[in-house]
């Protein structure tokens, strides 16, 4: 489209003018003549662009001065010299050219224009009082010359030799009724219509009219009235003008009127009616206007910032600047890089590119249609009738959301509380929450995102500290709050306020809170956190001493899922249910690696789960108390899956010292339930010291690989049980499925029988798990045995050892448990099979060295023993106190050296500093030995992970640099210990040792060489020799030539470029060749820097000898210092051998 537009714009009429001489007026005026001429030529340049014809019209221009004549100018096309034929086929030579015909006049003139400079013409675009509009006059006459002219003469004939030959313009001459005055078949002028009555008067019903179809359409479907005065005169007074003796038209709106108006700007462009008349006359015309080109035919942008372009230019040349406004109906959807375009008479046809860019409204909405309109801010006279342009751009919705905002709290003050959002330069937690909730600025906080969850962190400079609240903190939108870690950043409700109230506006969404301590919160539901509807994730949290007068001493969750990981709940209280957590009607309550200690409530000392699915894994509940039911937890109409967890020393005033289950399903796997107590108030009726199920069927509860022992009821001591009356499991278990459990009694074993399905009953709990005396009574020894939570270990010879069923050691999703309750580093199965309970006694697995085999060849430089050997250990996270020992077990020599390659301190690198060994810059151990037949031994610290030890093994090297070393094959052995008692199997490999490398020998490089100043460079030595007994090539070797005495900065050592033929040394750029084959690269040789050539594998001794003989010396000075220089040559063979240095003198003579 652009190419077609460019082609059309280049199709214009070019005018050339012949200015007739003979006088000194007008165009020949020595003062104003050049101005008149340039003005005419500028008008012609503009008018020529109104035509879609590529031609040249030559016009003879004369200057007259006729003060008596009432005329401004005249024009006449020159008739063609071809044989005339009748019809509407001739309008003169310019018309024929403009309609695509040939040039019948050759180099002759095509038309004449005569200007009467007796008139006072304006010499610019402005017209003053008493002046005539010369621009309009020029335009007017040029149009007459081309074809806006009738060929009907005063007497009713044709200007042409044949009275029946007319132009197409004449074809449409008519009376007021539209009747042609020329017969359309015989081409004879109708004299009845052509008479003084018809041409006289001013009424539109009389005179001549132009009745072409295009003209009628442009003129309201009416013929166009022509100028037809009563006194008929040939020339300007005939039908070649539109009527201006009638009040029906404004003469300033027409170019082709008979008379202009003195003192003002007349019409300077054909108006739409006149353009239509020319189209009827057979001329292809272009009206001034705007050319708009959209790239690929449309303008499409995207909310993600996608762009598109369109271009604008003028259709025709203006006489003065034209300014176009680029309008935009919706800047909120599309932005434009240009809002105004300026076109001049020089750049009018140069496209101006406008770039549109999509704007994101941050709303999910349909694609937006945006109106782009082009209007004129400034027109010149030729663009008086030019129309505007418009199109629609499309902004494609990209659902481009507002990025999430991260707020960094910078003050411990809880401000502002009045909601005013005053700014003080410090961002408080309350301000950040208000802005994130409303997605609008508040105080020192910027607006949050309506599309993504915002996040809040805490500035390190706060140093943790405590935020003491003056009111509850509300959360109403998706949010993540990340603290520096529980115990570092505390939020204190001062026993007056709930800390977080979470109620999302649509009752759905996600809130994450981590790394905080919440303490002294107080409310009826959820002393620290109340959450309604949202899915809430709590991680790395500490809840201390919070209180609820109803439920959820620390956390109350309703309808949404609750996830708790790596958190601690201590000393929280509720007057009703859930001393730590009450979860009500949510889809899931999931707890991992968390500790609940010393929490109290009426129901569920730690956890109250109502109508939920509960998953509890890798967690400990100890010392919690319920005054009524469920010392650790109460399950009401809930399903619960508990695995790898410890419930110990919990108590209830009524039933269920650890767990109270009513109307729900309960599954225990690899769980330890020991030392819990029911009926703690000693009022008869309390049962189920460990587990109590109410009206449960035999399908409601199942137990696998678990210990339920040492639990009791009441306060009475007896000789068989160390604490109270044994009462392990009240209710009924799924007997057919429950397996591999240890139950302390047979009477309260949930219906299980001893010896069935691997179940062991009536086992004294003190023989199973670790215990200690507390006030003279044995109690489970709950302590830190490793991992994030405390556990109760199995004792030696415990019946729980290797007594479990690995197939049932699975989590809530049925996946095999990889570790015991303590997590990573503590295998769930360590031994012949798994242990019963949450704790697995670990059997250390020795580390394994693999892929250290075969042999390695040593020829000179230190060699790595094995670059892909591996080290692994399935149960050791680090090799603290372990060792890596590398020793030569066969044929080791006193000169052999085992060492550690020093790679550096970067990621994955082994480094050496004194006796320390580092991995990625962190010290992992210290080393000794490696020499004089003493093995290399590296002793590790806790930073020595298996991956670090593996990297170390891959950087052990061997070297023997003596000149008379033994070539017997050595055997090297590697052993690693993990510091936990495990020792790897020793692995070995062979080291083949090559004889020492013979250094190269440079010979016959001696004596002196003479250099004549100002002469050519001189070769240092034409017969020097190079030999090497054991190196076929000098790959990686170097030849270094340097001036060691009296060298000057103007001295030059270089390589003579002999060519690329056989035996020749060549130089190309920084490359050196021998026989056309590159043998190396060179640097230096000037400014007292030695010439150094570094070789590749093609550099044979013969090639290097030829190179040495091509080394030259010269000085850049005509009169250099004449002191003799000493030049030295040293050669290395790339295999570790270095020649003896040889020297000779360079004499300046």
Has residue 963 got a pLDDT over 60? yes
* Contacts with 221 (C-beta within 8 Å, 6 or more apart), sequence order: none
* Contacts with 914 (C-beta within 8 Å, 6 or more apart), sequence order: none
Please tell me the predicted confidence (pLDDT) of residue 765: 94
Higher per-residue confidence, 303 vs 171: 171
CA gap 584, 413 in Å, rounded = 34
Please tell me the predicted confidence (pLDDT) of residue 194: 60
Please tell me the predicted confidence (pLDDT) of residue 717: 40
* C-alpha 1107: how far from chain center: 54
Please tell me the predicted confidence (pLDDT) of residue 202: 47
pLDDT digits (tens, 9 = 90+) for 1123-1135: 999 999 999 999 8
Has residue 450 got a pLDDT over 70? yes
CA gap 121, 135 in Å, rounded = 9
The stretches of 281-418 forming alpha helices (DSSP H) are: none
Please tell me the predicted confidence (pLDDT) of residue 268: 94
CA gap 1094, 1085 in Å, rounded = 13
**Least-confidence region, from 164-168, 194-198, 240-244, 994-998:** 194-198
Q: Tell me the pLDDT band of 203, cut-offs 50, 70 and 90.
A: very low
In percent, how much of the chain has pLDDT > 70? 92
pLDDT digits (tens, 9 = 90+) for 489-506: 999 999 999 999 999 877
Please tell me the predicted confidence (pLDDT) of residue 2: 26
pLDDT digits (tens, 9 = 90+) for 556-572: 999 999 999 999 999 99
Mean pLDDT of 483-487: 87
**Least-confidence region, from 886-890, 1027-1031, 1076-1080:** 1027-1031
Contact at 8 Å (CB) between 836 and 792? Answer: no
Mean pLDDT of 15-41: 93
- The β-bridge partners of 1001 are 1027
pTM: 0.53
Contact at 8 Å (CB) between 143 and 113? Answer: no
Has residue 69 got a pLDDT over 80? no
* Contacts with 443 (C-beta within 8 Å, 6 or more apart), sequence order: 415, 416, 420, 421, 422, 423, 424, 427, 428, 431, 434, 435
Contact at 8 Å (CB) between 18 and 109? Answer: yes
Strands 568-570 and 542-544: parallel
Mean pLDDT of 1069-1097: 96
Please tell me the predicted confidence (pLDDT) of residue 80: 65
Please tell me the predicted confidence (pLDDT) of residue 725: 64
Cα distances (angstroms) measured from residue 864 to each of 37, 598, 958: 92, 59, 7
Mean pLDDT of 537-562: 97
- Report which of 204, 211, 212, 244 is spatially closest to residue 227, judged by C-alpha positions: 244
Please tell me the predicted confidence (pLDDT) of residue 875: 75
* Contacts with 814 (C-beta within 8 Å, 6 or more apart), sequence order: none
Has residue 157 got a pLDDT over 70? no
pLDDT digits (tens, 9 = 90+) for 1034-1061: 999 999 999 999 999 999 999 999 999 9
Has residue 155 got a pLDDT over 80? no
Q: Tell me the pLDDT band of 716, cut-offs 50, 70 and 90.
A: very low
Please tell me the predicted confidence (pLDDT) of residue 248: 62
Q: Tell me the pLDDT band of 721, cut-offs 50, 70 and 90.
A: very low
- Report which of 764, 667, 678 is spatially closest to residue 716, judged by C-alpha positions: 678
Chain-wide mean pLDDT for the chain? 90
Residue the block writes with tokens 């008086």: 384
Please tell me the predicted confidence (pLDDT) of residue 1: 23
Please tell me the predicted confidence (pLDDT) of residue 418: 62
Peptide bond before residue 539 is cis, with ω within 30 degrees of 0: no
Q: Tell me the pLDDT band of 7, cut-offs 50, 70 and 90.
A: very low
Concatenating the DSSP letter of every residue in 145-198 gives HHT----B-TTSSBSSSSTTEE-HHHHTEE-TT--BSB-TTT--B-TTTSSHHH
Q: Tell me the pLDDT band of 615, cut-offs 50, 70 and 90.
A: very high
Cα distances (angstroms) measured from residue 658 to each of 578, 635, 678, 1009, 1104: 13, 11, 8, 103, 89
Has residue 430 got a pLDDT over 70? yes
Where is 274: in which H helix or E strand? Answer: helix 272-280
Please tell me the predicted confidence (pLDDT) of residue 232: 46
pLDDT digits (tens, 9 = 90+) for 376-428: 999 999 999 999 999 999 988 876 677 899 999 999 999 887 666 678 889 99
Mean pLDDT of 46-72: 91
**Buried b / exposed e along 665-695 (16+ C-beta atoms within 10 A):** bbbbbbbbbbbbbbbbbeeeebbbbbbbbbe
Q: Tell me the pLDDT band of 237, cut-offs 50, 70 and 90.
A: very low
* Contacts with 815 (C-beta within 8 Å, 6 or more apart), sequence order: none
Has residue 852 got a pLDDT over 70? yes
Backbone angles phi, psi at 1068, to 5 degrees: -145, 110
Mean pLDDT of 768-794: 93
Question: Going from the N-terminus, what domains does the chain have, and what CATH number goes with each?
Answer: 6-280 (no CATH), 293-396 (2.60.40.10), 403-587 (no CATH), 607-817 (no CATH), 848-993 (2.60.40), 1001-1148 (2.60.40)
CA gap 95, 1142 in Å, rounded = 96
């Amino acid at each position: 489209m652009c190419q077609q537009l460019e082609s059309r714009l280049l199709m214009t009429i070019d005018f050339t003018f012949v200015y007739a001489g003979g006088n000194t007026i007008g165009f020949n005026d020595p003062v104003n003549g050049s101005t008149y001429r340039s003005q005419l030529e500028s008008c012609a340049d503009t008018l020529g662009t109104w035509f879609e014809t590529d031609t040249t019209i030559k016009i003879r221009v004369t200057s007259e001065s006729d003060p008596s004549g009432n005329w401004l100018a005249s024009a006449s096309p020159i008739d063609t010299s071809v044989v005339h034929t009748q019809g509407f086929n001739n309008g003169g030579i310019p018309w024929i050219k403009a309609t695509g015909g040939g040039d019948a006049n050759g180099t002759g003139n095509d038309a004449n224009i005569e200007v009467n400079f007796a008139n006072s013409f304006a010499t610019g675009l402005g017209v003053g009082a008493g002046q005539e509009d010369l621009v309009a006059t020029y335009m007017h006459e040029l149009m007459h010359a081309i074809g806006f002219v009738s060929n009907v003469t005063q007497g009713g004939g044709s200007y042409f030799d044949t009275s029946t030959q007319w132009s197409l313009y004449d074809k449409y001459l008519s009376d007021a009724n539209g009747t042609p005055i020329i017969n359309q078949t015989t081409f004879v002028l109708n004299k009845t219509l052509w008479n003084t009555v018809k041409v006289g008067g001013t009424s539109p019903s009389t005179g001549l009219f132009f009745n072409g179809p295009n003209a009628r359409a442009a003129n309201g479907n009416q013929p166009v009235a022509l100028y037809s005065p009563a006194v008929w005169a040939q020339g300007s007074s005939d039908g070649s003008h539109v009527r201006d003796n009638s009040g029906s038209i404004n003469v300033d709106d027409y170019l082709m009127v008979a008379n202009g108006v003195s003192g003002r700007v007349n019409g300077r462009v054909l108006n739409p009616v006149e353009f239509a008349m020319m189209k009827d006359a057979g001329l292809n015309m272009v009206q001034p206007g705007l050319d708009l080109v959209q790239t690929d035919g449309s303008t499409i942008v995207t909310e993600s910032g996608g762009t598109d372009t369109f271009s604008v230019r003028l259709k025709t040349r203006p006489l003065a600047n034209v300014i176009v406004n680029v309008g935009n109906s919706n800047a909120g959807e599309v932005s434009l890089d240009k809002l105004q375009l300026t076109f001049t008479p020089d750049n009018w046809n140069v496209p101006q590119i406008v770039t549109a860019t999509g704007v994101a409204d941050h709303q999910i909405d349909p694609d937006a249609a945006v109106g782009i309109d082009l209007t004129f801010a400034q027109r010149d006279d030729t663009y008086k009738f030019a129309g505007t342009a418009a199109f629609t751009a499309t902004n494609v919705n990209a659902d481009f959301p507002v990025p999430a905002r991260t707020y960094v709290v910078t003050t411990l003050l809880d401000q502002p509380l009045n909601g005013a959002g005053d700014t003080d330069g410090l961002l408080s937690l309350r301000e950040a929450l208000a802005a994130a909730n409303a997605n609008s600025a508040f105080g020192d906080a910027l607006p949050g995102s309506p599309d993504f969850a915002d996040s809040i962190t805490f500035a390190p400079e706060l140093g943790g500290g405590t935020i003491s609240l003056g009111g509850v903190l509300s959360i109403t939108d998706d949010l993540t709050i990340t603290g520096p870690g529980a115990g570092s950043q505390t939020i204190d409700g001062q026993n007056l306020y709930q800390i977080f109230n979470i109620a999302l506006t649509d009752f759905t969404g996600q809130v994450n809170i981590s790394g905080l301590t919440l303490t002294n919160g107080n409310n009826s539901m959820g002393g620290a956190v109340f959450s309604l509807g949202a899915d809430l994730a709590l991680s790395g949290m500490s809840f201390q001493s919070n209180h609820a007068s109803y439920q959820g001493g620390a956390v109350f969750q309703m309808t949404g899922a609750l996830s708790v990981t790596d958190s601690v709940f201590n000393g929280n209280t509720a007057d009703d249910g859930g001393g730590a957590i009450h979860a009500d009607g949510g889809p899931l309550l999931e707890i991992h690696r968390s500790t609940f200690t010393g929490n109290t409530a009426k129901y569920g000392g730690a956890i109250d789960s109502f109508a939920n699915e509960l998953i509890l894994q890798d967690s400990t509940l100890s010392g919690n108390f319920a005054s009524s039911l469920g010392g650790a937890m109460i399950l009401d109409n809930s399903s619960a899956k508990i695995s790898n967890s410890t419930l110990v020393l919990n108590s209830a005033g009524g039933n269920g010292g650890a767990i109270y289950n009513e109307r729900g399903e309960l599954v225990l796997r690899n769980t330890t339930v020991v030392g819990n107590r029911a009926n703690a108030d000693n009022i008869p009726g309390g049962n189920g010291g460990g587990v109590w199920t109410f009206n449960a069927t035999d399908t409601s509860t199942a137990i696998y690989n678990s210990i339920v022992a040492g639990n009791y009821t009441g306060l009475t001591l007896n000789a068989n049980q160390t604490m109270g009356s044994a009462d392990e499991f009240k209710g009924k278990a799924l007997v057919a499925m429950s397996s591999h459990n240890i139950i302390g009694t047979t009477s309260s074993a949930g219906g299980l029988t001893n010896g069935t399905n691997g179940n062991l009953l009536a086992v004294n709990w003190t023989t199973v798990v670790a215990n200690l005396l507390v006030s003279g009574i044995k109690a489970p020894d709950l302590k830190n045995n490793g991992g994030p939570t405390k556990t109760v270990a199995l004792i030696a010879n415990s019946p729980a050892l290797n007594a479990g069923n690995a197939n049932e050691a699975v989590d809530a999703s049925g996946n095999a448990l990889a570790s015991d309750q303590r997590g990573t580093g503590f295998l769930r199965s360590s031994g012949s099979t798994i242990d019963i309970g949450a704790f697995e006694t670990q059997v250390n697995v020795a580390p394994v060295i693999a892929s250290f085999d075969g042999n390695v060849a040593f020829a000179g430089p230190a060699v790595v023993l094995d670059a892909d050997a591996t080290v692994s250990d399935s149960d050791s996270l680090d090799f603290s106190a372990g060792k890596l020992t590398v020793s030569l077990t066969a044929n080791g020599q006193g000169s052999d050296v085992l060492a550690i390659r020093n790679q550096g301190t970067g990621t994955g690198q082994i480094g050496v500093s004194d006796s320390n060994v580092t991995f990625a810059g962190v010290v992992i151990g210290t080393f000794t030995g490696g020499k004089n037949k003493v093995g290399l031994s590296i002793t590790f610290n806790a930073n020595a992970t298996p991956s670090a030890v593996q990297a170390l093994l891959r950087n052990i090297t061997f070297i023997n640099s003596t000149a008379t070393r033994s070539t017997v094959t050595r055997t090297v052995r590697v052993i690693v210990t993990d510091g936990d008692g495990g020792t790897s199997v020793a692995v070995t490999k062979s080291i083949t040792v090559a004889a020492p490398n013979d250094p190269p020998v440079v010979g016959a490089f001696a004596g002196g060489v003479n250099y004549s100043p100002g002469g050519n460079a001189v070769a240092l030595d034409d017969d020097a020799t190079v030999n090497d007994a054991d190196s076929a090539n000098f790959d990686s070797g170097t030849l270094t030539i340097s001036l060691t005495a009296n060298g000057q900065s103007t001295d030059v050592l270089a390589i003579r470029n002999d060519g690329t033929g056989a035996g020749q040394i060549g130089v190309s750029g920084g490359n050196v060749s021998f026989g056309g084959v590159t043998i190396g690269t060179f640097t230096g040789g000037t400014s007292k820097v030695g010439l150094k050539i570094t070789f590749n594998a093609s550099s044979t001794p013969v090639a290097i000898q030829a190179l040495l003989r091509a080394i030259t010396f010269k000085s850049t000075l005509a009169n250099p210092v004449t002191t003799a220089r000493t030049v030295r040559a040293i050669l290395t063979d790339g295999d570790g051998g270095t020649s003896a240095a040889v020297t000779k003198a360079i004499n300046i003579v």
